[in-house]
Amino acid sequence: MPQQLLRVQSFAVSRDGFGAGEGQSLERPFGHADPAALFAWRAATASFVYRTEPGGTRGLDDYLTRDYDRNIGAEIMGRNKFGPQRGPWENHDWQGWWGDNPPFHVPVFVLTHHERPSFTLADTTFHFLDASPAEALKRAKQAADGRDVRLGGGVATIREFLEADLVDEMHIAVAPVDLGRGERLWESHHELLDRFHLESVPSPSGVTHLLFWRR
Amino acid sequence: MPQQLLRVQSFAVSRDGFGAGEGQSLERPFGHADPAALFAWRAATASFVYRTEPGGTRGLDDYLTRDYDRNIGAEIMGRNKFGPQRGPWENHDWQGWWGDNPPFHVPVFVLTHHERPSFTLADTTFHFLDASPAEALKRAKQAADGRDVRLGGGVATIREFLEADLVDEMHIAVAPVDLGRGERLWESHHELLDRFHLESVPSPSGVTHLLFWRR
């Protein structure tokens, strides 16, 4: 049986290392950052998950975008990716940002200190876990049924899993924008090079794809 | 229903435009060309189909290699890819280069003026068609059941489908080797730029990935 990997896919950061701006809220999930500046490269591709018109690019950015769900059997995300609430749930009305048909199509494990019942939207079931990264990964791998697990972010969650040395592969897209403040993924990606191989691939769209895999 | 594309994937050519050398035979499927020089980039990746040891790179070359069968429902190949024989079949003993478990796992349509009965090896069925490119593509799209069709080569077959303007997307890996003679894909890839967008992406491995998609 092939090894099950934990993969970060198509995660965007600014040139100065931020995955989201300051002041995240319901109205501004990325805080003061303009999401378009971080994600324009992906939105331009033919395989962009929310594309409604035909067309779109089929170059390098598209190859990376369309790999997002290849051989993925589960996702782990932090609570800050799931929603803008912090602390105990006031109720369970919030079901994520993604409407009735979330773009995951696999079990999603939301890490939170405040558990709540699982629920299903279309073919995506959300589970809520108060667990360590290693425990969460074990649960997600069981659910993934032999396939890989995607680590969906946000920044704090990726940092935790990096710290626990659980990440096998990571695709980070560095967008040509500076944010100055917010949720920081790293001071410099060089801090990872003792543990990861790295290829840095500039795209004609202006982003630079950083492809990490475990040494 | 999304459009069904005809895609060329991971097709290797020399710097001077040859996909195979001169003098193809049972012993030398690529003629005087050393296949290792054309395919080393792919063989080094974690996703290489014939990899037997764990490991392998997970950078740019791997992303392109692992896209080889994503959303592919059928393959079309020329007879020269299927085997070294030319002219009428002396018998039907030859079942391709790939042993008992061919790496296709979808219906394969072999274009030939000399038809023979279909046969199945593991989960790959080979069909033999004396048909125009447009007719063959129609058959393959039916068999692909909504998924894309891969155009497997060799060179003459890709040229025919380009000439008939049936190719939607094409990934050509230019290997850092000159062959001087053999089966030529193009004089220069610039001859395609009136019909295709192109991104040229150099890989740390030394190959350059040319990514074409229809304008």
pLDDT reported for residue B2: 66
What confidence tens digit (pLDDT) does each residue in A128-167 have?
Answer: 999 999 999 999 999 999 999 999 999 999 999 999 999 9
Does the residue A93 lie in any domain?
A: no
pLDDT reported for residue A1: 52
Packing angle, helices B133-144 and B155-163, rounded to 10: 100
Residue numbers in A near B204 (CB within 8 A): 199
Nearest Cα residue in chain A from B2? A54
- The per-residue DSSP string of B55-103 comes to --B-SHHHHHHHTTTTTEEEEEEEHHHH-S--SS-S-S----SSTTS-S
User: Could you say which of A67, A197, A199 has the minimum Cβ distance to residue B67?
Assistant: A67
Does the residue B94 lie in any domain?
A: no
pLDDT (average), residues A88-116: 96
* Domain CATH number, residue B209: 3.40.430.10
- Phi, psi of A140, rounded to the nearest 5 degrees: -65, -40
Does the residue A57 lie in any domain?
A: yes
Token output for B144:
């692909």
pLDDT reported for residue A54: 87
Instruction: Report the half-sphere exposure of B36 (CA within 13 A, side-chain side).
Output: 0
**B173 CA: distance to closest CA in chain A (Å):** 13
pLDDT reported for residue B26: 87
Q: What's the N-to-C CA distance of chain B in angstroms?
A: 21
How many H-runs (helices) and E-runs (strands) does chain B carry? Answer: 5, 11
Q: pLDDT by residue for chain B (215 residues), tens digit each? A: 568 999 999 999 999 999 999 988 889 989 999 998 999 999 999 999 999 888 999 999 999 999 999 999 999 999 999 999 999 999 999 999 999 999 999 999 999 999 999 999 999 999 999 999 999 999 999 999 999 999 999 999 999 999 999 999 999 999 999 999 999 999 999 999 999 999 999 999 999 999 999 99
- The per-residue DSSP string of B38-61 comes to HHHHHHTBTT-TT--SS--B-SHH
What is the Cα–Cα distance from B20 to B10, expressed in whole angstroms? 14
Does the residue B79 lie in any domain?
A: yes
Residue numbers in A near B209 (CB within 8 A): 60
What confidence tens digit (pLDDT) does each residue in A15-44 have?
Answer: 999 999 998 888 998 999 998 899 999 999
SS3 content of chain A, % helix, strand, coil (to 5): 20, 30, 50
pLDDT reported for residue A184: 95
Q: Quickly count: other Cβ atoms within 10 Å of residue A106's Cβ.
A: 20
**CB–CB of A3 and B54 under 8 A?**
yes
From the list A98, A66, A73, A54, the residue with the least C-alpha distance to A171 is A66
User: Tokens 């991971």 identify what position?
Assistant: B10
Top residue of B47, B199, B212 to mutate, by most chain A CBs within 10 Å, is: B199
Does the residue A21 lie in any domain?
A: yes
Does the residue A124 lie in any domain?
A: yes
**CB–CB of B59 and A3 under 8 A?**
no
Residue numbers in B near A204 (CB within 8 A): 199
Please count the structural domains in chain B. 1
Does the residue B125 lie in any domain?
A: yes
Please check whether residue A3 touches B, CB under 8 A: yes
Structural domain for B44, as ranges: 6-22+31-49+56-86+100-214
**A49 CA: distance to closest CA in chain B (Å):** 13
Does the residue B93 lie in any domain?
A: no
C-alpha distances in angstroms, A60 versus A13, A214, B41, B60, B205? 18, 22, 17, 9, 16
pLDDT reported for residue B139: 98
What is the Cα–Cα distance from A153 to B179, expressed in whole angstroms? 47
Residue type, B47: S
User: Tokens 């939607």 identify what position?
Assistant: B168
Residue numbers in A near B213 (CB within 8 A): 46, 57-59
